[in-house]
Amino acid sequence: MQAMSVSQIRNFAILGHSGSGKTTLTDALLFKLGLNDRLGSTENGSSVSDYTDEEKARKISLFACPFTADYQAAAGATYRFVFTDTPGYMDFYGQVLGAIRASDAALFVVDATSGVQVGTRRAWRACDADGLQPRAFVITGLDKENASYDKALASIRHAFGPTCIPVVAPANGKMVDILAAKELSDEWQEIKGQLVEAAAETDDTLLEKYLGGANLSADEIGEGLVHAVASGKCYPVFAAMPLKEAAGLKELMEGFVRLFPAPGARVFRDTHGNELKPDPAAPFVGQVWRTVIDTFVGQLSFVRVISGTLTKGEYFDASANSKESVGALIHTIGKKQVPAEHAVPGEIVAIPKLKVTRTGHTLTTHGHIVQVTPLVFPNPVMYMALTAKTQADEDKMGTAIHRLCDQDPTLHVEKNAETKEVVLKGLGDVHIDVAAKLMQAQSNVHVDLSTPKVPYRESVTALGDGHYKHKKQTGGHGQYGEVYLRVDPRREGEEEWFLDEIVGGTIPNNFKPAVHKGVVEAMLAGSLAGYPVQNVKVHLYDGSYHDVDSSEIAFKIAARRAFRDAMSKAHPVLLEPIMTVKVVIPEHFMGTINGDLTHRRGRVLGIEVAEGQQTITAEVPLAEMFKYAAELRSMTGGQGSFDLCPARYEVVPSNVAQKVITEAAKHRKTEHEEE
């Protein structure tokens, strides 16, 4: 590709709800721009954007896919479009966040039969959170049965306000450019007046001219609208039918040129708040917003150039404090890769085989070490236990999981010391299932997925007295140690939990560390169901020893047994992890979701209303939430979403606790028999 001025670059992300037509629009744009010799389709597996085996099998977008194409505008100048197709499925929201960070504008796709949906609103909020102001809409699917442009437009304006103004709309079977059309109906003439007013309000001189009754020139209107879009004071609404003779695509691409801002309108800052200007002559600064493992090339890091010019050579990973070598630059067209010589601000290129750089990291010129504001990803909401199918898979599983998490920061892995399980955490059941498939495809590791065990705890609710004398004679030196101790609940804020209250040296000082160690070991497996013990205070108050036979091991054994004896008398209870859950749903699902949360032993703490959505905050036991992602999707038809984070541990109700204790006893018995 030829060198391009920054002022002629238009970088935007294509966002929207799952099934709204984002990938269909993307494939139509790729065909129109000459990047594909036929119109790709998700239905027959020929989509350029959804090209992976998993995307073809599921017929949904799973990954953010960037493209670069040059477009010759009607006025004659050539512009470079850098655009990213994004998933609408909630499980892959992390991909959306990365694409928003890499973009200068957002194009929201709204289906003419469905209108604004929860995924549209969530992507809108993500743009708010990341400071991406320039936004526009395109209404698609107008050729579908029951499609209504008017209803879709009303839905957009109801959700996001009257500053969402049509610039291209269907009329008499054609797409009408409202600003350029010579003859307009009274309705569209009024809309044109709204656009002219939005343009005039960006500049005092234009506003004075407009209020004085003078007509603004086409150039003045165009320049004013660019400023209005860049500042978020006007959101243009287009219309297109990508599958019906590409109707509206030409007008849409002209809209990118005329109304979307060049790099610079969106301000990128470093972690100290300093603005990073899109100057090709400045020191290079870029941020990795997506990482992918390519079967042939290996790791590919997608970099948004923020400042300076990226070429081959040595750079510095400011986030990892390490040098990196850039041996090649690549533009991707789906699975096709095209070499690039350089990249200027606003462009996205892929760099192969970076050693330490990961998603969110900042690359800079040596000696110009700054860090771009980090990407913030949502907490996992779905947990699944991973079990290797064979020993060979077990040997490779750690490396495969590490590779997965490097690609996708919304995936987390934890080796639970209590349950002995490897737990993979993600944003939904499909997210984790896709991750397991990627492990197989990228690392040839096969795993089984199962519901994780709950990391219960044990504690006490009363005072309990325990005693054990360990006495063993085997010829020669024997073993002797006697321990008396009490346990009671440890209150919040109490730091000391092991109290030495012995008077008179009944246990010599040199054996007290062994008693402490024995208690610590006993707390790893409580007396109820073998779960770790917490929030317990231990008082060591008496004991006895033998001048010859006493030893550290004898006192450790005595302390373990004495602790278990005391705990069994102190009204032990089972504790379970409680999660804070925030569920976002349309209002008509309130009764269903409230009832379901109560059924899950949840407590609703509050309800808030924002942007036409209800947010329910509740506390629910973790044991009831493992499959909630899939179940919420089923209950709301995909219109609900939720966040999850740990709150604290609470006592398990007796009827539930008894089941857990019985199951734990069976498990211990099985393990004992196998041994």
Which helix or strand (DSSP H or E) is residue 157 part of?
helix 149-160
Residue 670 has pLDDT above 60, yes or no: no
Could you report the per-residue pLDDT of 436-486, keeping only the tens digit for each?
Answer: 999 999 899 999 999 999 999 999 999 999 999 999 877 667 899 999 999
Token readout for 444 is 């040839």
Q: Is 361 left (phi over 0), alpha (psi -120 to 50) or beta?
A: beta
CB 486 within 8 A of CB 466: yes
Mean pLDDT lowest among 294-298, 323-327, 604-608, 647-651: 294-298
The separation between the first and the last C-alpha atoms of the chain, rounded to the nearest angstrom, is 67
Residue 77 has pLDDT above 70, yes or no: yes
Which helix or strand (DSSP H or E) is residue 189 part of?
helix 186-200
Mean pLDDT lowest among 113-122, 209-218, 567-576, 639-648: 209-218
**Strand, helix or coil for residue 546:** coil
Cα–Cα distance between 573 and 567 in angstroms, integer?
Answer: 10
Could you report the per-residue pLDDT of 213-249, keeping only the tens digit for each?
Answer: 888 887 888 889 999 999 999 999 999 999 887 889 9
Superfamily of domain 6-193+236-266: P-loop containing nucleotide triphosphate hydrolases (3.40.50.300)
Q: Residue 362 phi/psi, 5° resolution?
A: -105, 130
pLDDT interval class at 657 (50, 70, 90): very high
pLDDT score, position 483:
96
pLDDT score, position 674:
44
Token readout for 192 is 């044109």
Mean pLDDT of 136-141: 96
pLDDT interval class at 4 (50, 70, 90): confident
Cα–Cα distance between 8 and 224 in angstroms, integer?
Answer: 18
Mean pLDDT of 161-186: 87
pLDDT score, position 154:
96
512-522 and 552-568 helices cross at what angle (nearest 10)?
50
pLDDT score, position 673:
45
Domain boundaries, the chain: 6-193+236-266, 269-364, 382-450, 458-570, 574-655
Cα–Cα distance between 270 and 615 in angstroms, integer?
Answer: 33
Which residue has 């920061």 as its token pair? 409
Across-strand partners of 171?
Answer: 174
Cα–Cα distance between 68 and 1 in angstroms, integer?
Answer: 10
**Strand, helix or coil for residue 439:** helix
Mean pLDDT of 312-324: 93
Q: Is 333 left (phi over 0), alpha (psi -120 to 50) or beta?
A: beta
Mean pLDDT lowest among 135-139, 140-144, 465-469: 140-144
Q: State the CB neighbour count (10 A cutoff) for residue 250.
A: 15
Residue 100 has pLDDT above 60, yes or no: yes
- For domain 382-450, say whether CATH 3.90.1200.10 is its number: no
Across-strand partners of 388?
Answer: 447
Mean pLDDT of 568-581: 96
To the nearest whole percent, how much of the chain has pLDDT over 70? 98
Q: Are 382-450 and 574-655 the same fold in CATH? A: yes
Mean pLDDT of 569-581: 96
Fold of 574-655: Alpha-Beta Plaits (3.30.70)
Matching CATH number, 269-364, of 3.40.190.10, 2.10.109.10, 2.170.190.11, 2.40.30.10? 2.40.30.10
Mean pLDDT of 5-30: 95
pLDDT score, position 638:
84
Across-strand partners of 107?
Answer: 14, 136
pLDDT score, position 108:
98
Which helix or strand (DSSP H or E) is residue 382 part of?
strand 382-388
Q: Which of 5, 70, 79 is nearest to 32 (CA)?
A: 70
CATH architecture under which domain 458-570 falls: 2-Layer Sandwich (3.30)
Cα–Cα distance between 98 and 132 in angstroms, integer?
Answer: 12
Alpha helices for 11-135 (secondary structure H): 22-32, 53-58, 93-101, 118-130
pLDDT score, position 461:
95
Q: Which of 359, 338, 349, 337 is nearest to 292 (CA)?
A: 359
Mean pLDDT of 261-282: 94
Token readout for 326 is 């850039």
Cα–Cα distance between 232 and 131 in angstroms, integer?
Answer: 10
Q: State the CB neighbour count (10 A cutoff) for residue 10.
A: 23
More confident call, 181 vs 644: 644
Cα–Cα distance between 606 and 582 in angstroms, integer?
Answer: 10
To the nearest whole percent, how much of the chain has pLDDT over 90? 74
pLDDT interval class at 86 (50, 70, 90): very high
Q: Which residues of 59-92 are buried (b: 16+ CB within 10 A; e: fewer)?
A: ebbbbbbbbbbebeeeeeeebbbbbbbbbbbbbb
**Average of per-residue pLDDT values in the chain:** 92
Residue 573 has pLDDT above 50, yes or no: yes
Query: Running DSSP on this structure, what letter comes out for residue 232?
Result: T
Mean pLDDT of 548-574: 95
Cα–Cα distance between 30 and 47 in angstroms, integer?
Answer: 10
pLDDT score, position 381:
92
